[in-house]
Amino acid sequence: MKAEEKSESQSLYREAIKVLPGGTSRNMICRKPHPDYVSHGEGCRVTDVDGKTRIDFSNNTASLVHGHAHPRIVAAVTEQLQRGTAFNLATEAELRFAQHLCSRNEGFEKVRFMSSGTEAVMAMIKAARAVTGRSKIAKSEGAYHGTYDYAEVSQKSKPANWGSEACPASVGAAQGTPQQALDDVIITPFNDVDRTIELLDQHKDELACVLIDPLPHRIGLIPTSHEFMKAIRQWTTENGALLALDEVFTFRMGYGGAQEWYPDVCPDLTAMGKIIGGGFPVGALAGKDDFMSCFDPTRSELPLPFSGTFSGNPITMTAGRVAMELFDRSAIAEVNQLGDYARKEISEAIDRSGAEACVTGAGSMFRVHLKAQPPVEYRSAYQDSDELRKIAFLVKHLYDNGFIMINTCTAALSTVTGKAEVDQMIECLETGMVKLGKN
C-alpha cells in the first residue's frame, strides 16, 4: 500500500468534501492532492495528523504574532472560558483591551470591536459615508482590503480588463458584483501622486474616503511612499473626505501600527485585525471621537447602526489584550530586526542561486518574487501563469521540506521565531531556486 493511501489527512479530506465545498472554508489552505490536517501547534512549529512537523512562517496569514499556543495567552483564555464566552452584557475585558489599544496611538481616541478584518474595513467605509454623507470611495489598484463588495474592487484585475495606467478600471472580484458598487469605487495607481490626485479631483465632491494600506501585500508588499501618503492626507483634508488606513496586516509593524512610518500624517480612521485578536477572530476600528461618534448608540439619531453578536466577546478581548501587552516596543524591535536579517540573507541567497528573483517587505514581513527587479505597483507585481506556476513550485518545495509560507511565498515572522529557523528556511529556499532554474 502506498504511503499516501495511509494518510490520515487524506481520509479526513474524503469526509470533508462531502460536507464542505472543496472540503474547506478557507481557500488559502487548499493543497494538491488535499490539505494536511493539523494535530497541534506550539511556538513556531505545527504538527499535522500524520506526524509531520513544520516551521510556520505563515502564522495563520500574519495573525499569530506570538506563534502557536503561547502559554500566557492560553492561561488567560482558559481562565476566562471558565467564566463564560459571550454575553448580552458589557464586559470589563472589552474595556481593558480598548484602553490598551487607545494607549498605543494618539490618534485612537475611541475604538469599536468587530469579528474580522473584513468587517473592520467595511465598518470604516460605512463610517466614512455616515460622516461625510457621500457614497464613493477610492483605493489603489490591486490592494486587498477584505471581501466587502466595495473593498474588493480591482484586487485581482488582469491585463485584459484593468484598463489604462492613467485611469485604471473598476473590476469586480466576484461574479455578480453589482455595477453600482463598481461605479462607486475609484481606482487609482499605487504610489503615483500626480495621476492619483488627478483622478480624485474628478470626484472630489463624491468621495467619502481614500483607502490606503501602508504595505499592500497583493501589490507586492512594498511600502506606501511618504510622498504618496502626505499627498493623500492633504487632499482628503482639503476636500472633506476621510483618510482611511487599513492596518489589518500592518499593525504589527510598530507599537501604534505602520502609520508610525509617517510621523507627520494622522489618519482619520484605522482598521485593525489579525494580531490584535491573540489567535481569535477579531476586527477593530479606531479614530478620533468626532468620527467614531457615528457608532454611538446613545445618540438620539444614530447615523450608523452597527453591531455583532460576538463583537467584543471576552475570549477575544482577553487573548488580544495579553497578546498586545506582550507585543511591546522591545518585542516589535526584535522581530522587525529579524525581518531585516531575513530580507538581507534572502537577497544573498538569490545572488548565489543565480535565480531571477528579488525580495520585498518591511518590518516582520517579506515576500519573494520571481522577478529580476522589485515591483513598484500592482501591474509590475502582477504574476502571469508562468510565474504563478514557479511560485507554486517554490512554496511546495518549502512546504515539503518543512516550512509553511503564505501562498505568495510571503512570510510573517513571530516573536518565537529565531535566526536558526530563518537560516534553515533560507537554505531550503536557495535549494528550491536552484532546482527551479534547472526545470
Rounded distance between C-alpha atoms, residue 173 and residue 90, angstroms: 38
Domain range enclosing 388: 36-65+329-438
254 and 141 in a common domain: yes
Rounded distance between C-alpha atoms, residue 401 and residue 428, angstroms: 7
248 and 102 in a common domain: yes
Rounded distance between C-alpha atoms, residue 361 and residue 223, angstroms: 8
Specify the amino acid at residue 286: A
Q: Give the three-state DSSP class for 271.
A: strand
Specify the amino acid at residue 214: P
- Give a yes or no: residue 14 inside a domain: no
Rounded distance between C-alpha atoms, residue 35 and residue 21, angstroms: 13
Rounded distance between C-alpha atoms, residue 15 and residue 119, angstroms: 31
336 and 303 in a common domain: no
266 and 409 in a common domain: no
207 and 91 in a common domain: yes
What tens-digit pLDDT sequence spans the chain (439 residues)? 344 467 998 999 999 999 989 988 888 788 888 899 999 999 999 999 999 999 999 999 999 999 999 999 999 999 999 999 999 999 999 999 999 999 999 999 999 999 999 999 999 999 999 999 999 999 999 999 999 999 999 999 999 999 999 999 999 999 999 999 999 999 999 999 999 999 999 999 999 999 999 999 999 999 999 999 999 999 999 999 999 999 999 999 999 999 999 999 999 999 999 999 999 999 999 999 999 999 999 998 899 999 999 999 999 999 999 999 999 999 999 999 999 999 999 999 999 999 999 999 999 999 999 999 999 999 999 999 999 999 999 999 999 999 999 999 999 999 999 999 999 999 999 999 999 987 7
Rounded distance between C-alpha atoms, residue 390 and residue 402, angstroms: 19
- Give a yes or no: residue 5 inside a domain: no
Q: The C-alpha cell of 406 is what?
A: 503564505
Name every residue whose Cβ is closer than 8 Å to that of residue 42 and which is 6 or more positions away in sequence: 67, 68, 69
For 124-158, b/e burial (b = at least 16 CB within 10 A) is bbbbbbbbbebebbbbbbbbbbbbbbbbbbbbbbe
When divided into structural domains, the chain yields a total of 2
Rounded distance between C-alpha atoms, residue 171 and residue 181, angstroms: 10
Q: Give the three-state DSSP class for 270.
A: strand
313 and 380 in a common domain: no
- Give a yes or no: residue 17 inside a domain: no
- Give a yes or no: residue 20 inside a domain: no
CATH number of the domain to which 46 belongs = 3.90.1150.10
- Give a yes or no: residue 242 inside a domain: yes
Rounded distance between C-alpha atoms, residue 166 and residue 379, angstroms: 12
267: left (phi over 0), alpha (psi -120 to 50) or beta: beta
Stated length of the chain? 439
| Dihedrals phi, psi of 249, to nearest 5 degrees | -85, -40
Q: Which among 16, 45, 51, 49 is positioned nearest to 30, based on CA atoms?
A: 16
Only one residue has cell 502559554, namely: 71
Residue pair 409/346 in contact (Cβ under 8 Å)? The answer is: no
Which of 263, 291, 326 is where one domain is finished? 326
Q: The C-alpha cell of 223 is what?
A: 511600502
